[in-house]
């Protein structure tokens, strides 16, 4: 993989205010991936492909990432980026709304990374659980949403997202098949191991 290109892509994404994975969050996930050595990863929310490209370093030989993005401009950039970095053989980009695409997937995944519309997290969880291998892990970014999830007061604009993030956290905590921890890294990271 071309790390120099990856760094350029990161810099450009940050300049354009694209919400790519934060360094401390990536560090935690890299630790998990190093232990699991996943064969298949599913990512929901590719943006310009930065996190998927970072994760691709930790795949087993022959491993693959499926990632989903609905924004046309970001799709175009992600495809270019995969080529520039030389990871186009490892990452498959599904173009469109994850709400429509996920039910059509039948993969078995060792890791699912949820990083898209916060209001859809409970649905994404349902779909992730359907396709997760035993001993697999579901990681969700932004679950504490700038502190709104843990505070009483939320603006109207954030209310649906907050309600659904709280529902996500409740479901992963209540699921007897999952061992979950919520970390205050980045914008809040939920990590659920399937027993
Ligand atoms: N994982 C990326 C950042 C993703 S930002 C990284 O760390 O590099 C979240 C992305 O999810 C945005 O680009 C947004 O367009 C996309 N998204 C949000 N809701 C979606 C949906 N329902 N289906 C597909 N993509 C979605
Ligand atoms: Mg995120």
Query: What are the pLDDT digits (tens) for 6-30?
Result: 999 999 999 999 999 999 999 999 9
* Å from CA of 117 to ligand 2 middle: 10
Where does 20-177 show beta strands of DSSP type E?
40-44, 64-69, 91-95, 109-114, 132-141
Q: Ligand 1: does its nearest atom lie under 6 Å from the Cβ of 10?
A: no
Where does the chain show beta strands of DSSP type E?
40-44, 64-69, 91-95, 109-114, 132-141, 178-183, 189-194
Number of folded domains that form the chain: 1
Domain containing residue 88: CATH number: 3.40.50.150
How many angstroms separate the CA atoms of 92 and 109, rounded?
14
Q: Ligand 1: does its nearest atom lie under 6 Å from the Cβ of 58?
A: no
Query: What are the pLDDT digits (tens) for 136-153?
Result: 999 999 999 988 888 887
Which helix (H) or strand (E) segment holds residue 99: the answer is helix 98-101
pLDDT of residue 154: 74
Helix (H, G, I), strand (E, B) or coil at 186: coil
- Mutation to probe ligand 1, out of 18, 77, 117, 161 (largest number of atoms < 8 A from CB): 117
Q: Ligand 1: does its nearest atom lie under 6 Å from the Cβ of 70?
A: yes
Q: Is 194 left (phi over 0), alpha (psi -120 to 50) or beta?
A: beta
Q: Ligand 1: does its nearest atom lie under 6 Å from the Cβ of 68?
A: yes
Which helix (H) or strand (E) segment holds residue 130: the answer is helix 121-131
The pLDDT of residue 60 is above 90: yes
Residue 124 sits in which domain range? Answer: 3-194
Residues whose CB is less than 8 angstroms from the CB of residue 46 and which lie 6 or more positions away in sequence, other chains included = 52, 67, 68, 69, 74, 75, 78, 93
The pLDDT of residue 157 is above 80: no
Q: Which ligand is nearest to the CA of 46?
A: 1
């Amino acid at each position: 993989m071309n790390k120099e290109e990856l760094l350029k892509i990161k810099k450009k994404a940050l300049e354009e205010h694209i919400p790519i994975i934060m360094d401390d969050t990536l560090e935690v996930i890299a630790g998990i991936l190093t232990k699991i050595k996943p064969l298949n990863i599913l990512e929901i929310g590719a943006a310009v492909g930065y996190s998927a490209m970072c994760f691709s370093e930790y795949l087993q030989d022959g491993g693959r990432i499926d990632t989903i993005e609905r924004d046309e401009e970001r799709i175009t950039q992600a495809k270019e980026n995969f080529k520039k970095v030389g990871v186009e053989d490892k990452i498959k980009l599904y173009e469109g709304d994850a709400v429509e695409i996920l039910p059509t997937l039948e993969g078995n995944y060792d890791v699912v990374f949820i990083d898209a519309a916060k209001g859809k997290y409970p649905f994404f969880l349902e779909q992730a659980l359907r396709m997760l291998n035993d001993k697999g892990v579901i990681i969700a970014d932004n679950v504490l949403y700038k502190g709104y999830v843990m505070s009483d007061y939320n603006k109207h604009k954030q209310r649906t997202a907050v309600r659904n993030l709280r529902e996500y956290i409740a479901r992963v905590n209540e699921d007897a098949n999952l061992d979950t921890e919520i970390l205050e890294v980045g914008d809040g990271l939920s990590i659920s191991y399937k027993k």
